[in-house]
């Protein structure tokens, strides 16, 4: 089946991102397709490459980046939510006159339409949030 996932919360603050990650990994291991993982609300904070979590615990952003690379996942960070919270790619940074960008590997910034499209195209869409 084709599954889409929505992540509404940031890393560590809530278990949402972890649960979404474990679900995504299990679905892929079972041979399902994860057509898109869409990060909304504080979920966009999963997409910053500047997190430096303690070494003895999981690095959530890195886990998503690695999973994305391994399975060619489409990890999309909502542009509107990202702008509010300061997650930028190079284009966004340039457009808004910011000194740098921080989007992590494997993530891309795009519009809310990507969420709706994911809902239309997938067989199921599962939301992880608070």
Chain residues in the site for another protein (CB under 8 A): 1, 3, 6, 8, 15-16, 19, 22-23, 25-27, 29-30, 32, 40-41, 80-81, 111-113, 115-117, 119-121, 123-130
Are the beta carbons of 21 and 66 closer than 8 angstroms? no
The nearer residue to another protein, 105 or 117, going by C-beta atoms, is 117
- The single residue of 78, 79, 88, 103 carrying the catalytic annotation is 78
* Residues contacting residue 23 through CB under 8 Å, at least 6 positions apart: 5, 126, 128
Q: Active-site residue 5, yes or no?
A: no
* Beta strands 107-110; 124-128: pairing state: unpaired
Q: Nearest approach, Cβ of 99 to another protein (angstroms)?
A: 26
Which residues have CB under 8 Å from 40's CB, separation 6+? 6, 7, 8, 78, 81, 112, 115
Which residue, 57 or 100, is less far from another protein as judged by CB? Answer: 57
Q: What is the closest distance, in whole angstroms, from the C-beta atom of residue 100 to another protein in the complex?
A: 25
CB closer to another protein, 15 vs 98: 15
Query: Least distance (Å) from another protein to the CB of residue 67?
Result: 13
The structure tokens 């599962």 sit at 126
Count of Cβ atoms closer than 10 Å to residue 55 Cβ: 6
Residues involved in catalysis: 78
């Amino acid at each position: 089946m084709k599954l889409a996932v929505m992540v509404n919360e940031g890393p560590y603050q809530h278990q949402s991102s972890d649960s979404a990650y474990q679900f995504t990994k299990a679905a892929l291991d079972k041979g399902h397709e994860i057509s898109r993982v869409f990060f909304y609300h504080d979920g966009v904070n999963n997409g910053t490459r500047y997190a430096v979590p303690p070494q003895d615990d999981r690095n959530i952003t890195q886990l998503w980046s690695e999973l994305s690379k391994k399975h060619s996942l489409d990890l999309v960070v909502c542009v509107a939510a990202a702008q509010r919270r300061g997650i930028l790619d190079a284009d966004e940074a340039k457009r808004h006159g910011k000194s740098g960008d921080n989007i992590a590997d494997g993530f891309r910034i795009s519009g809310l339409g990507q969420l709706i499209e994911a809902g239309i195209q997938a067989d199921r869409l599962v939301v992880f949030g608070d």
